Amino acid sequence: MPTPVTYAPTKQFIGVANEVTQGTPVAMTSTLLVDNFKPKDNPKFLEDKAWRGAMATDAFAQIPGTQISELDLSGPVFLDGLGYVLRNIMGDLAVTGTSTGTGGTTLSAQAVAGATSISTAATIPNGTVIQIGSGATAEVFTTGTPTGSGPYTIPLSTPSGGLVYTHASSQAVQPVTGPYTYAWSLLNSGTGQPISHTLTHFLGPAATSGARQYPGACFSELSFKWNAESDLFTWDAKATAYPSVVAGSTPTSNPGSTAPMASWRMAVGIGGPASSGTLVPTIMDGEVSLKRELSPYYTGNGVQSPYIIQRAGLAVEGKLSFIAASEAPYLYMINNTQPSLQLLISNGLSGLNYGAVQFDFAIAAFTEAEPDGSKSAVEYSDTFKAVLNTTNAGGSGSYSPCKISVTCNVAPGTY
């Protein structure tokens, strides 16, 4: 009798990596911590039903057509992995660090997008982490060895690829440290296409490596949920990817050290920040949902996978459940006040260990407000839709429905 071969699903894990070219698989660089992952390859079969004089309705042949894969995944929010998914569905990014308080200088000349070095009024030591600019076009790099005697040429060694944005002369250049804040908005420049990712699923049965890769992954849905009484802060998502392939080598799980967050830490501000006089302390649970239009395009190029998975429009909406301390949740809707809305959840730690997720909606239109008098206290269940605005827009300009910021001690250039 042959020795039984089995695989323990408790050993599975998901890896993620940024792609250079959509659909070209790359080895995982980080572990994406989830508790649910359901991949499905969806090849199409073209049926030959040409008449042959047979009393049958089945096909005489099944001809391979195009292929695609669909992915469902979910789990608690881990701050160090969330940036991959937000970059994929939103695209525009500004990065800021925590100022060291010393060593600051300014640009002595304009620095154009794509430049791999900057000119500064004062020198900056090799290996210094610096922030260039501020606000929607802020960027963080690690420097190389400086040259010159003033002004000084400062190489931008990490991340590679040079500046994303153009920075005017005299903009601030400040040494920073972690934690870093990554602010995501809707990408509007260039082709409007965010980066794609390869997701690697180690499960066991795949030959040699035990893992399958799903390249070209593009997220079409991303939802966040919380319940102050009973749940962790969680997310779930759907993605479309190129057909899976067997990984070339066995991947290794390398999870970070951050922990998920309890939902009771969520603070909500309406008409202002989630603090002080605009903090609303009566919200019990809620959700935020991002939906991105996707269209795989196939061409006659001799391959079954898509030519491109095209990203189109992004829409954002959400729900909030209130204890009815007043009729305010109803009035947001009936008066169409469209207030600003901020949601902020942090891990409660400090220094390098501090982490948070912040949702900013400059304009939130409350479209439904349903009272519930069947419980111990009167409640309202509200639905809101994000309104496109320029306040939440990133460095690529135009409009964005919201801005989502993640603060964590992940090195710039990771996402």
Structure-block tokens of residue 276: 């002080």
pLDDT digits 0-9 by tens, 296-352: 999 999 999 999 999 999 999 999 999 999 999 999 999 999 999 999 999 999 999
Average pLDDT over residues 90-101: 97
Supply the Cα-derived Rg of the chain in whole angstroms: 25
Q: How far is CA 364 from CA 9, 26, 145, 209, in A?
A: 42, 39, 47, 47
Average pLDDT over residues 87-96: 98
Structure-block tokens of residue 164: 């994303």
Average pLDDT score over the chain: 97
- Plot region of 127 (φ>0 → left; ψ -120 to 50 → alpha; else → beta): left
**Whether residue 1 has pLDDT greater than 90:** no
- Beta-carbon neighbour count of residue 405 at 10 Å? 18
What letter represents residue 381's amino acid? S
Confidence (pTM): 0.96
Hey, which residues does 297 pair with through a beta bridge? Answer: 308
pLDDT digits 0-9 by tens, 49-74: 999 999 999 999 999 999 999 999 99
Structure-block tokens of residue 197: 């990712």
What letter represents residue 82's amino acid? L
Q: How far is CA 277 from CA 74, 264, 280, 364, 372, in A?
A: 35, 19, 8, 18, 26
**DSSP-assigned states of every residue in 261-313:** -BGGG-EEEESS-SSGGGB-TTEEEEEEEEEEEEEEE--SSS-SS-SEEEEEE
pLDDT digits 0-9 by tens, 151-202: 999 999 999 999 999 999 999 999 999 999 999 999 999 999 999 999 999 9
Average pLDDT over residues 213-234: 98
How far is C-alpha 258 from the geometric centre of its chain's CA atoms?
Answer: 17
